[in-house]
């Protein structure tokens, strides 16, 4: 870890804890800053705050008092989830106090280079693919996962050496709080409308994502989804060297899909059908990851073997196993129609039993209609069950079953499925009608599957 002298003896407010806030506070404390921590959760219910207090930091909990800013802080490091409309942040902006996220602090002290991955969909899968690819034949140092994937960057940099590389998933919330952060390779998987409640508009959301490249130079590589005209237009404004990946355009300088082959420049890397996880979105993810691997010197055969053996990320078209000839996939992360549409693209509908449904946000499922054509069966659950069954029947799906919980859903899907079929949980809905989050929903699915196949 490098010393970052600019933080020594500075009064810095860490706003909001969770894992990234704790990591940032500890790192700044180690760098010699005078750290004050402020978290909304009360101290008696806040073991993280208690730990930081024991380390000698000033800890204020229970609310975000605006008069805290009278302490003369030179910097605020905020939890990415706290919106800029929070009164203490609005006042800080008025007072021209810089506001950063912890990835900026981590970058300042890191001996290792950064690879930054952002986008609306596919970030975690692509980040994990890249991590595995860069470690596949590495003889010196290692690739380390960092960022929004569950490993606070401020923790990871403490052990990262100059021969390592930090494969870092970055959210729009994190990217709004950077200043000098600069990855040597950056990747935007795609851009769709998301987090408008936080950003206020799609333009603001896109601008936050585009921050990833703001400090890059022509010596750095920016990998973009060539399928999207919006990203091609944005590419005209960057100083970085742009490389596209695409399933629709043959960009010879990048990675692309040619018939059933994944190609980098003129080199055939592997067949699309060999990628270990199904779906057109995962072909895009694999193409993007291939570019990073090739820029990093990974051989074609290592790329092929790694992507063939890639089984996915938990809850993201994750392959659970094959039982009595039936393949099981957990795509609980598919909390919207687009995600389920992309997941379905990787399966033969004639041999697919789909489990879907969840929170009713008032929308219909018209955008999913074409993807349901030819489906063997739909098992619908949650608040949207009736809507989904109506949509499926409209598209000619005759075997539709309505159930009330995951146990019944798995039982029905298992009874319907036959050898050479697949069962896919891809809800197209948020989980909050029955589960606290999509992870718990996915874990419930996997638990029910394992119970039924063990009988």
CB atoms within 10 A of CB 84: 16
CB-CB contact of 289 with 350 (8 Å)? no
Dihedral over alpha carbons 412, 418, 423, 428 (to 10 degrees):
-70
For residue 323, give both structure tokens: 């039982």
Backbone angles phi, psi at 70, to 5 degrees: -70, -10
Q: Which helix (H) or strand (E) holds 277?
A: none
Tell me how far the alpha carbon of residue 275 is from its chain's centroid.
19
How many angstroms separate the Cα of 361 from the Cα of each of 230, 357, 364, 387? 28, 11, 9, 11
Query: For residues 278 and 356, what is the distance between their CA atoms, to the nearest angstrom?
Result: 18
Write out the E strands in 16-70. Answer: 34-39, 58-61
Query: For residues 99 and 192, what is the distance between their CA atoms, to the nearest angstrom?
Result: 26
Q: Which of 264, 270, 267, 261 is nearest to 244 (CA)?
A: 264
Residues in Cβ contact with 238 at an 8 Å cutoff, skipping those fewer than 6 apart: 213, 216, 222
Residues of each annotated binding site: 119-125
What share of residues in the chain are helix, strand, coil (percent, to 5)?
40, 20, 40
Q: Which of 260, 258, 310 is nearest to 285 (CA)?
A: 310
Residues of each annotated binding site for ATP: 119-125
Tokens 């980098």: give the residue. Answer: 264
């Amino acid at each position: 870890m490098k010393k970052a002298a600019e933080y020594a003896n500075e009064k810095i407010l860490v706003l909001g804890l969770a894992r990234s806030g704790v990591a940032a506070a500890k790192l700044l404390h180690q760098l010699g800053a005078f750290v004050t921590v402020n978290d909304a959760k009360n101290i008696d219910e806040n073991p993280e705050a208690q730990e930081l207090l024991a380390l000698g930091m000033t800890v204020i909990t229970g609310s975000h008092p605006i008069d805290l800013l009278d302490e003369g802080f030179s910097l605020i490091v905020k939890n990415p989830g706290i919106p800029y409309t929070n009164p203490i942040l609005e006042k800080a902006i008025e007072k021209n106090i810089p506001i950063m996220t912890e990835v900026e602090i981590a970058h300042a002290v890191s001996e290792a280079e950064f690879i930054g991955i952002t986008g609306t969909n596919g970030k975690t899968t692509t980040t994990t693919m890249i991590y595995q690819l860069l470690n596949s034949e590495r003889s010196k140092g290692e690739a380390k996962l960092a960022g929004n994937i569950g490993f606070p960057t401020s923790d990871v940099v403490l052990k990262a050496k100059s021969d390592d590389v930090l494969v870092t998933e970055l959210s729009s919330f994190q990217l709004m709080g950077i200043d000098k952060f600069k990855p040597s390779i950056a990747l935007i998987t795609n851009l769709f409308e998301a987090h408008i409640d936080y950003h206020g508009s799609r333009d603001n959301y896109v601008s936050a994502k585009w921050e990833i490249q703001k400090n890059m130079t022509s010596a750095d590589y920016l990998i973009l989804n060539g399928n999207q005209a919006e990203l091609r237009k944005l590419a005209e404004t960057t100083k970085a060297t742009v490389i596209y990946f695409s399933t629709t355009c043959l960009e010879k300088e990048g990675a692309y899909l040619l018939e059933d082959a994944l190609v980098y420049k003129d080199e055939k890397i592997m067949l699309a059908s060999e990628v270990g996880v199904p779906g057109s979105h995962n072909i895009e993810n694999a193409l993007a990851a291939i570019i990073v691997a090739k820029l990093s010197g990974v051989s074609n055969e290592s790329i092929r073997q790694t992507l063939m053996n890639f089984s996915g990320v938990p809850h993201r078209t994750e392959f659970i196993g094959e039982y009595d000839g039936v393949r099981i996939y957990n795509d609980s992360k598919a909390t919207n129609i687009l995600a389920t549409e992309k997941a379905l693209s990787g399966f033969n509908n004639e041999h697919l039993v789909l489990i879907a449904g969840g929170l009713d946000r008032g929308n219909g499922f018209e955008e999913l209609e074409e993807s349901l054509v030819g489906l063997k069966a739909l098992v619908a659950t949650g608040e949207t069950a009736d809507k989904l069954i109506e949509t499926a029947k409209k598209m000619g799906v005759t075997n539709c079953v309505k159930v009330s919980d995951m146990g019944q859903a798995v039982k029905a899907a298992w009874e319907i499925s036959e050898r050479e079929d697949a069962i896919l949980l891809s809800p197209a809905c948020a989980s909050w009608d029955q589960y606290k989050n999509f992870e718990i929903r996915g874990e419930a699915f996997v638990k029910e599957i394992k119970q039924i196949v063990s009988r």
